[in-house]
Amino acid sequence: MRDIEITLKDRLLSLISSMGYEFVGCELQRQGRRSLLRIYIDNEAGITLTDCTNVSRQVSAMLDVDDPIQGMYTLEISSPGLDRPLFERAHYQKVIGSRIKVRVYSPIEDRRNFVGLLLRVEEENIVLLVDEKEVIFPFSNIDKAKVIADMAG
């Protein structure tokens, strides 16, 4: 997530954790003249609309004071859902053996989008089984990744 400054992530982590929620991660997407800041939160009891509203109020107040995002933006607070986004190495480690979708910044074998079975997490890489072949993805090249929910089980 190259768009979000580390200090902003740290501030969000601190604020959201102090409210009793897990800060899963966030992403900043440009949408024309506006941006969308999407923040994923979770807790053991699950996330309700009330939880999202409460976190949104607190984060909005913090962002109004700090003003870390250039221009106009929309703030969205969300549960990670079944197709859980993966941001940190620990997130990948929790889902070893799951099917995930990965989008990379720089193409690998002329592709930017992959779906495969997460085999292992290494120091600087993840390894997926894609089309019966192991493919190595450096963390630094991963734009987005998410779990593909198994609706059968």
Beta bridge partners of 145: 102
Q: Let me know: does 76 contact 36? Beta carbons within 8 Å.
A: yes
- Domains annotated on the chain, with CATH: 6-78 (3.30.300.70), 89-147 (2.30.30.100)
Helical H runs in 6-142? Answer: 6-18, 49-66, 89-94
For residue 35, the surrounding DSSP H or E stretch is: strand 34-42
* Residue 140 DSSP label: G
Instruction: Report pLDDT digits (tens) over 15-52.
Output: 999 999 999 999 888 888 888 999 999 999 999 999 99
pLDDT of 66 higher than 90: no
Instruction: Report pLDDT digits (tens) over 78-132.
Output: 999 889 999 999 999 999 999 999 999 999 999 999 999 999 999 999 999 999 9
Q: What is the pTM of this model?
A: 0.83
Q: Let me know: does 60 contact 69? Beta carbons within 8 Å.
A: no
